[in-house]
Amino acid sequence: MVYLVDSLSHRNRYDDWKYVVDMSVRLFNSNKERKGKKQAIWEVVKGPRQPDSKQCGFYGMRFMREMIEKNATSEKNSISSIFMKTEYSKEEIDEVRSEWAECIQDYIYE
């Protein structure tokens, strides 16, 4: 199963992504000698929508973080709640920006 999360309200075409990922899965299966495996099933996921075209990375990181955190707690109702959110607050995105900056800073000064 391949989930495509589009924070730009499906303005992006995903045909190119579909081709690349499908080909990657085929190559992986071929290299592992896993013949006869099914093709990937695609599902476009409605995640929180970004207000402009400049914050997709932060929205993507925030969305992935919430999926991991909610999945780790094994709360089935909480995982579906992130798909219901329409957008993130400025504070939620700023938190991701801050974490990203700290990570880069640690990497630069090591």
Structural domain boundaries in the chain: 1-46, 50-110
Output the pTM of the full model.
0.61
pLDDT value of residue 48: 82
- Report how far residue 72's alpha carbon sits from residue 80's, in angstroms, rounded to the nearest whole number: 13
* Cα 19 from chain centre: 18
Least confident of 5-9, 29-33, 49-53: 5-9
* Cα 22 from chain centre: 17
- Report how far residue 52's alpha carbon sits from residue 50's, in angstroms, rounded to the nearest whole number: 6
Q: Classify 33 in phi/psi space as left (phi over 0), alpha (psi -120 to 50) or beta.
A: left
Q: Do 59 and 90 contact (CB within 8 A), yes or no?
A: no
- Report how far residue 25's alpha carbon sits from residue 27's, in angstroms, rounded to the nearest whole number: 5
**pLDDT > 90 fraction of the chain, expressed in percent and rounded:** 15
Which position has the higher pLDDT, 78 or 82? 82
User: pLDDT digits over 51-67, tens only?
Assistant: 887 888 888 888 888 88
User: pLDDT digits over 84-105, tens only?
Assistant: 778 889 999 999 999 999 999 9
Which position has the higher pLDDT, 61 or 38? 61
Supply the DSSP symbol for 4. Answer: E
Which position has the higher pLDDT, 16 or 25? 25
